[in-house]
Structure formats: C-alpha cells, structure tokens
C-alpha cells in the first residue's frame, strides 16, 4: 500500500475521532443545562469560532502539504509520532473523565460555580487537554513529513491557547457567577 492510502485512512479516522469529541461536548452541554437549571451562558464564542477555523485550516494545510511534498516518515519518526498520539488520546480521555460534564469545547458561565478539579493529572498541571492538542499538532504533521503545517499551525495554536486559557481562568476562578 502506498503512503496516500495510509494518510487518507489516518485523516478519516482522525476526523471521526473529532466528531466523537464534539458529540461528547454536546452531551455534556445538555447535562450541564439540566444540572444548572438551564442557566448557562457561552462565553468566548469568537474564540470558539476561531478555534474551528484554525482546526479546519490545519486539516486543509495537512492535506495540501501531504499531497504536494509529504510522505510517510521514517520508521523511528512514525513510531514516535504514534506513541505521541497514544499519549495525546490518553490525556484527552483522562481530561474527559476527570472533568465529567464540565469537559467541553465551549466555555460556559453558569449559576453554579464549577468545581476546581485537582485529581488525576490535574494535581500536577492545569491543562492536560490542551497539552493533548499541542501533541497532536506536532505528531500528526510529523508522521507525514508535513513540517510547514507543523511549525505554522503549532505557533498559531500556542498563541491561541494562551488567550483561550486566560478566558477559561477568568470564568473558572472568578468570584462572580451568573
């Protein structure tokens, strides 16, 4: 089988994984509305739209770069990339489990103060979910030698996450609630 087959297979699987995450986020939003008596408000909507654009352009760039200059990388880099992706998946699933209904792609302000999670990996650092995203933004392009996509979008993602985390922290640590 050629590199294109592996790439297409991988990208389709990765897109289905993202769809699964979006379904979990939608389910959690419904549960959070019930838990808080429907008194939740999404904040940072512009950031979320920018995140959707960033991730969509990342996929487009990855596909374009692969079909112009990319190919499956050397065996050591492939193995390292796959190991990093498994770490990323572990971090993401761990975050979903630890945060429960509070895990979401949206930021909510609601009438009940959200608990500060300090169990599992959250004992050691605040953002294992975003670490997972950064690992993905490194491992996936490296897997297919899409280094322009890796560098360009990794820089944008780090800048974006700086603002996203600040917004989350404002609503998580503020004394004010709806």
Classify residue 132 by burial, with Cβ atoms within 10 Å: 0-12, 13-18, 19+.
Answer: buried
pTM of the model: 0.89
Phi, psi dihedrals of residue 124, rounded to the nearest 5° = -100, -35
Residue-by-residue pLDDT tens, the chain, 178 positions = 688 999 999 999 999 999 999 999 999 999 988 877 767 888 888 999 999 999 999 999 999 999 999 888 899 999 999 999 999 999 999 999 999 988 999 988 876 667 788 888 899 988 999 999 999 999 999 999 999 999 999 999 999 999 999 988 888 777 544 3
How far is 34 from 133, CA to CA, in rounded Å?
29
Q: Please, what are the domains in the chain?
A: 3-173 (1.20.120.1630)
How far is 32 from 34, CA to CA, in rounded Å?
5
């Amino acid at each position: 089988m050629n590199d294109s087959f592996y790439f297409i297979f991988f990208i389709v699987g990765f897109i289905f994984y993202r769809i699964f995450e979006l379904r979990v986020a939608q389910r959690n939003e419904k549960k959070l509305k019930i838990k808080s008596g429907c008194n939740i408000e999404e904040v940072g909507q512009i950031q979320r739209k920018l995140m959707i654009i960033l991730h969509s352009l990342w996929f487009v760039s990855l596909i374009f770069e692969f079909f112009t200059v990319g190919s499956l990388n050397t065996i050591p880099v492939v193995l390292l990339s796959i190991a990093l992706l498994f770490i990323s998946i572990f971090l993401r699933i761990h975050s979903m489990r630890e945060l429960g209904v509070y895990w979401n792609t949206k930021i909510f302000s609601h009438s009940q103060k959200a608990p500060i999670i300090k169990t599992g990996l959250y004992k050691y650092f605040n953002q294992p979910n975003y670490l997972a995203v950064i690992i993905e933004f490194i491992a996936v392009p490296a897997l297919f030698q899409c280094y322009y996509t890796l560098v360009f979008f990794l820089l944008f993602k780090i800048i974006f996450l700086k603002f996203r985390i600040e917004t989350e922290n404002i609503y998580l640590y503020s004394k004010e609630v709806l």
